[in-house]
Structure 1
Amino acid sequence: MGNDHKESNHEMQKTKQKKSTKSMNPLQSVGLKLFVYIIGGILACVLTMGILAYNESKKIIETKVSQSSQQTITQLAVNLDNVMKKYDDITLQILVDSAFHELVDTLQSSTLGEYEKFEATKELSNKLQSIIFGNDNIAGMALIPVNNDQLSIITAGNSQLSKVESLLEEPWIEQVQELGGRTLWLDSRANSLTSNNTMPSFGVARLLKNTSSSVAHYILLLDIPTKGILDELNKVSLGEGSQISVVNEDHNFMVHGDSASIATPAAFALDGSEHNSVSQSIEGIGDVLLIHHKLAFASWYLVGSIPVEELVKDAIVIRTLTVQVAIAAALIAILIAIIVMLTIGKPLIQLRDLMQEGAKGNLTVRSKIRKRKDEIGQLSDSFDQMMTQITNLAVQTKTSADAVLTTASVLTDASKKTAISAKEIAVATEEIANGSTSLAVEAERGNDITLAINDQMKQVLASNEQMVQSAYEVEQASGKGTAYMAELIDKTGQTEEMTREMVTKVDALKDSTRSIVQILDVLNAVTKQTNILSLNATIEASRAGSAGRGFMVVANEIRELADQSTQSIDVVGQITGRIQNEIVETVEVLSRAYPMFQEQIHSVKEANHIFVNVQQQMGRLIAKLEEVMSSVKALEASQNVLNEAMSNVSAVAQQSSATSEEVASLSAEQLNVSDNLVLLSTELSQVSTALKETLSQFKV
């Protein structure tokens, strides 16, 4: 093992020496880094100043050009507004022309013939044609009827009827009518609006209302080529590469130098303000300075675009000068770097070579740089002092290594003897710990069983207490039931007495009813006798003549009273008969109910007897449960004593097991310490040998 360790130390030392003898990478040289830092710093300063100057001059040029171009665009927008105002004035002139409206009324008249209407149509066309002759920028005009089948389309100039008819379905027709006489500017199209001409044009439309009747029969449409507006734009130039165009609110070109771009989307976007100047980057073109101004009549924008590259081409001189200065600065930086490399890099290389010799083991090397008083000279002196101190340290270390080697041998022998003793102690302690552990396990098992029995006893005790409580509750309920049954027996007896009395009273009522019937029979006989007497009195009165008239009246009254009595007796007899029948039915019901009351009394008495027996049985059950509870409590006390004893046994067993395990752990730890001590002694011996061999390589 010691030989292997020595060989590995030798290999490590050889590897370190090989690494130290490798030549240094030139890219990692301090001189080269200083060279790069100097050139980089100078070039960075020069380029930064040049770029800042270029950008500042670029901003100044853009600002100045933007201001001057904004004025130019504004003036051009005023000129375009004047041109477009002429077209608006033309439509207004026709709107207020009374002769025009008279001709339209002539066409509307139903009394005139076709020839007069033809003449009126021809005269309207001539009026439009004369306006076109007076303005070269109007290609054609058309009058489009509004919701009137009697009127036809009238054209002038280059306008064609078929082309105008194709416009009737477009939405701008309704828009013109909604404006109520105000001008509507139609967006430019790639071809003519009212003819087959391929020249781009835009339109101006107005609803022609009669000034007197406020009725509109025609829409006036002017077809205006964009060439006239484009000629105005070409009169102004914003510089080389610049372009002026007109776009609508949707950023589609209305007027453009390339006719193919009419009605196509522009590559730029405007912010919607009245006028503004802004720089934008357009794909395929680059950075462009945009100046726009909104026209007064149509919702269009006059836009001028100037390439930024053309604006700042004069500033390229600054960029060229910056490059030239950078080249000159690079040459100066190279010269400074060469001087720095000779005065700093070369001495550092010499010190590096001396340090590599020292790393190989040659502690006798010393620096030859003596005359310099700067930091490099101080570094040279510090190197010599370091090598002297390392030499002294190597001598002292060699002496100490010899002493450590001797001590390590003695320590190794003592450690081996201690390790053998520790192994024997560890084996004995392990056996004791195993026995204590088994005892603790058995005690713990017994303790668990005792605890389980204790829990079951507690459950039995709780169940017994619940049974006792339930028995008490049942006994109390039985007592209440017995009291309720006694009260029910009393009330049932009272009900029986009342029923018996009711039967007696109903029988008496039945006899009274028979008496009433007999009385009614007597009254009925009296009434019949009264009728006979009344009849006899009437006969006697009639015999008496005039002297018996008063008596006849009395006899009639008596007869009528007898008749009423007979009727009343009959009614009372009927009512008495019904009462008698109901009394009979009541007697029958009471006769059937009386046996049922007797049976109910018998059942209540039997239920009362059952409740009394239940109460007596529950009393005896409570006594037995109390005896069982006393026995369970005594058993619980014994179980608690057993549980406490088992807990003490388990605690003692666990403490014994823990003590044994602790002793075993200490013994094992002592054994590990002894083994480690042996290993450390061996390693110390090996390290001392290796240190001695390593120090032998240095030259002192």
Structure 2
Amino acid sequence: MTEFRKLIGSLFRSPARSIGTKLFLIFVCAVCLSVGGLGWFASSAARSGIIDELEQGSVQTVSLAGEKLDMQQLSYLNLALELVNNSSFLEPLFQITNASIDEEERKVLAGSIQGLLDQLALSDSRIRDITLFPLEDELPPISTIRETGAIADAAEEPWMRDVVRAEGKEVWLPTREKGYYGNAPKPLFAYGKLLGKKNIGSRDFALVVQIEASVLGDLIKEVRLSDNAETQILDAHGRLLATNFSEGTGAGEVFAYDAAQQAGSAIREGSDGRQLWTAYRHSPISGWTLAGVAPLTELTASADRIRAVTTMAVAGCAVVALLVGLWLVRMIGSPLRRMESLMNQAADGLLTGRMRVRSKNELGQVAEAYNRMMENLGRMVGETLASAKEVASSSQRLSEAASRTTSAAHDIRAVTEQIAQGAINLASGAERGIVSVESMGERLKEAYSLQARMAGSAMETGEACRRGGAAMEGLVTRAEATESRLRKAGDRIVGLKEEAGSVRGIVELMDRMSKQIRILSLNASIEATRAGAAGAGFKVIAEEIRKLAERSDESIASVGTFTESIEGEVEGTFAAMEEALPFFRQMLEEIGAIHLAFGEMSERMEQLGVHSAGVEQAIGQLNDEGASLATVMGEVSAIAQQSTAASEEAAHQCSSQTQISEQLLEQSRSLGEVSDKLALQMRQFRL
């Protein structure tokens, strides 16, 4: 019982800290998910297959029932076809509307037609009555009902207008509790057909056949998609005509169905939230719809049973997985917990614990390896304890030798430091002299370099001044040429202005000529008017001359405007050129002054180059003397540095020897402390 409680307690440990819990969870989850997924897939596949079979079977069942309904309706429609094809019916029908026959003869003809209707009504016991309504003549209806008073007003009903508008096509009328004349003891449905000019060539009559509604109920009485399903007949407007629904068994729902497809099926949601399977077929004869409605749960009951069995199987597999998981935890987790306990004891110093080996699998091999590890670790601890004692003894002897070496090294170091100090002072003085000489040489080099750059810059500046002077000469020449061209352009603009004035005079002359032409045209028109018909041609010519003069005025006005614009532009251009000429004169004077300045600058740059050459020669001589002095100081410095290096090397060796001795002494002391600590730690282990 204690072992079982420990086993259950281990299952509640974190999977990150317990391999048993991790294996248990992996195994149980894998089994449950695999079985659950397989069961879900099987039940879904079964449900999908059932729905596919249901779709085909339900549509086929509804289609067969719809075909029976079509055949029944065709049998009733054949009654009208028999009448249309019967000469014994057509001849009295044509004659009865003849105004020349007397009333007695009309009654005989009506009786003949009524006899034919009686024969057709007796051919099927479900036919309640057949009535022929005259629509264009003041005649009473002809019907198998002997008392026609109740049906006299039926010709004015809205449904009768639907029959007339159909123009010879059958119109099926929905069920009414007391029929369409209000005198029937049971519900009736009917159809109407227009007989007249458009199909038989006679006057218009409406044929109405009333049929017992029980015919529809009998057709769908045994048609069910399931035990609690409902079969319905709906008219073209979706109104319920007949159903085999009974309280507590059927669905009791009416839906709208897609008229674009003749037959089909779909899953719909009922008013109470249930899912319902619907299958339907639209009749090509009457436009009515035969529909079957069934609870989807009833049709898919086998799939639900499969799902229930699958759920129980998943639950059973989960229980088995739990038991197998517990067995795995006990088989793997218990040895691991035992090994964990022994390792904790070993961490506390107890190395006597051993695993009991019972199996040859991986856990048994791990247990054997652990036992061998503990035995080897015990031997290693014993050997380490003996070695620690030997190390402590050796460190004591090493400490004594290091103390003596350190004392001798201190004495040698003091003497060496005195020798090294003198060499350092000599080397320091030599180095300061070398630094001074080198500094002077660097400055002479910088002065020489600066003098060379200054000479080069003076030459470049002189060359630039000469190029600038040449450019200024060219600029003066181009400026003078530009001034000359501007003066010539001004002269040409003055001539253009004078020519524009001449054009203005020509335009004024043309304007006066145009005015005289208009006056002559006016006079010619007046004279032509006085001449009457003889001057008509002359009048047309005068009118054309007037129009030509008007167009000339428009052209002259345009030319005058353009000439004024040219004169304005010429005057503006001439004024701009007159303003620019003083600017060009001033620019010529300034360019001449700049040209003289460039010449003076070039001469001064040549003088600067001559002086710079003398300075460069003096700096070269001073640089050579500084190089000789630097060579002498370098030799002195080298001798001083060699002496200093030898002294420093001796001092360094003594210092290193002293440090090594001190470190050796310190290491010997540390080694003694380490050996003491190691011996203390080894005594914690119990072998």
Query: What's the TM-score bracket when you normalise by the shorter of the two chains?
Result: 0.3 to 0.5
With normalisation by structure 1, the TM-score equals 0.47
